[in-house]
């Protein structure tokens, strides 16, 4: 898998001019959703390299990260005369970069693309690492491919207009990166003032978070080993996310990951000896900032069934990434049905359901 260049922008126009210039192309297309078309695309109006680009606008939200939307992007590319030498610029959050990357990786057997993430979640997770895809059959990211962007431009000035819910959605992935890296990074995330944000400091923290992911992806680009560390919180989190979609009460991805961390840190405490105090500190932060995803014991079987579809599983055995301590990663861990249900019980107890 080719290496992608991740650029922490000091000036959006210069960085974008350089990135586009490094991708010779016959035609340029810009993919946005309706929100980023209105709020973010105008910020590119003075960038000469993207002037005259054809626009592709899709509906926002994870409910539209599906085959129908993907086909509509292919259709616009086809109708617009895109060739194997065309370039797609994905301007938006994780839904846009995931779906746009997959559209690019499959159109004409693959065209180049650049990610310009506009949300914290996309900056520290979705846009970096080369995973692309769509939801299918009620399951998160069921269809996709490893296909890295030519470059990813991280412009944290976009975050000044981000609402609190989308800020915390991305912050959950940063918290995960802290848990799998160092106690210092983890502690900084737990103590950062999220009510009165220092954007200069946040930019530095985003850079550190991206570096954690980049280092892991560089070592294991196709997720055959240590890259599974990035799935901490996601085995249960994706099940929460899929159940929420099925019950027509969708939740933001990062919130589902945060709630998944509660369960998986408990499994880490029980199975691999993760320190109880650090589990409690992290769970307290999540409870204070993410609220709760309510469910009762009648949902346990459905959640367990959804977890059985996780892509990390082998022969139907549910696979977890757990922690022995902060930065001490234990991949390819398993838990039986009773153990998983015990984690659900713990979640409901500590979250006050």
d(CA 4, CA 127): 11
pLDDT at 140 over 90: no
* pLDDT, average across residues 321-342: 97
| Helix ranges, the chain (H) | 12-21, 34-39, 67-79, 94-106, 120-121, 164-179, 183-191, 199-219, 234-246, 253-271, 276-290, 300-307, 337-350
Domain with CATH 1.20.1090.10 in the chain: 164-350
pLDDT at 1 over 60: no
* pLDDT, average across residues 133-150: 93
Answer CATH for 5-161 from 3.40.50.12780, 3.40.50.300, 3.50.50.60, 3.40.50.1970: 3.40.50.1970
Name the DSSP class of 11: S
Q: What is the pLDDT of residues 256-294, one digit of tens each?
A: 999 999 999 999 999 999 999 999 999 999 999 999 999
Q: What is the pLDDT of residues 187-214, one digit of tens each?
A: 999 999 999 999 999 999 999 999 999 9
Overall pTM surpassing 0.85 (yes/no) = yes
| pLDDT value at residue 2 | 62
Q: What is the pLDDT of residues 9-27, one digit of tens each?
A: 988 999 999 999 999 999 9
- Enumerate residues 6+ apart whose C-beta is below 8 A from 71: none
Q: Which residue has the tokens 């015990």?
A: 342
pLDDT at 351 over 90: yes
d(CA 185, CA 3): 25
pLDDT at 315 over 80: no
pLDDT at 138 over 90: no
* pLDDT, average across residues 299-316: 90
- Enumerate residues 6+ apart whose C-beta is below 8 A from 151: 4, 5, 6, 7, 19, 22, 23, 114, 115
pLDDT at 50 over 70: yes
Share of the chain above pLDDT 70, in %: 99
164-350: CATH topology is: Dehydroquinate synthase-like, alpha domain (1.20.1090)
Domain with CATH 3.40.50.1970 in the chain: 5-161
- Please check whether residue 9 is in contact with residue 154, taking contact to mean a CB–CB distance below 8 angstroms: yes
d(CA 57, CA 35): 9
């Amino acid at each position: 898998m080719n290496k992608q260049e991740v650029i922490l922008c000091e000036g959006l126009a210069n960085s974008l001019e350089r990135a586009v210039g490094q991708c010779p192309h016959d035609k340029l297309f810009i993919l946005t959703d309706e929100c980023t078309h209105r709020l973010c695309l105008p910020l590119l109006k003075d960038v000469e390299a993207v002037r005259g680009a054809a626009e592709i606008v899709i509906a926002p939200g994870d409910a539209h990260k599906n085959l129908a939307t993907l086909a509509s992007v292919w259709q616009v590319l086809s109708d617009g005369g895109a060739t194997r030498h065309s370039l797609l610029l994905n301007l938006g959050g994780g839904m846009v970069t995931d779906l746009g990357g997959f559209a690019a990786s499959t159109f004409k057997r693959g065209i180049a693309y650049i990610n310009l993430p506009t949300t914290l979640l996309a900056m520290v997770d979705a846009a970096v690492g080369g995973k692309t895809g769509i939801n299918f059959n009620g399951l998160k990211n069921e269809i996709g491919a490893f296909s890295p962007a030519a470059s990813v431009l991280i412009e944290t000035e976009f975050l000044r207009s981000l609402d609190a819910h989308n800020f915390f959605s991305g912050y959950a992935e940063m918290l995960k990166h802290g848990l799998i890296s160092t106690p210092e990074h983890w502690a900084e995330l737990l103590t950062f003032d999220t009510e009165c944000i220092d954007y200069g400091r946040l930019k530095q923290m985003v850079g550190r978070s991206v570096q954690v992911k980049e280092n892991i992806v560089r070592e294991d680009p196709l997720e055959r080993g240590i890259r599974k560390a990035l799935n901490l919180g996601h085995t249960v989190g994706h099940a929460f996310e899929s159940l929420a979609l099925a019950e027509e009460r969708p939740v933001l991805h990062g919130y589902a990951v945060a709630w998944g961390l509660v369960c998986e840190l408990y499994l880490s405490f029980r199975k691999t000896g993760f320190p109880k105090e650090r589990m409690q500190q992290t769970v307290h932060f999540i409870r204070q900032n993410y609220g709760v995803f309510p469910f009762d014991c009648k949902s346990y079987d459905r959640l367990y069934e959804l977890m059985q579809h996780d892509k990390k599983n082998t022969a139907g055995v549910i696979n977890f990434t757990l922690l022995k301590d902060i930065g001490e990663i234990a991949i390819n861990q398993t838990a039986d049905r009773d153990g998983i249900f015990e984690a659900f019980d713990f979640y409901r107890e500590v979250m006050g359901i």
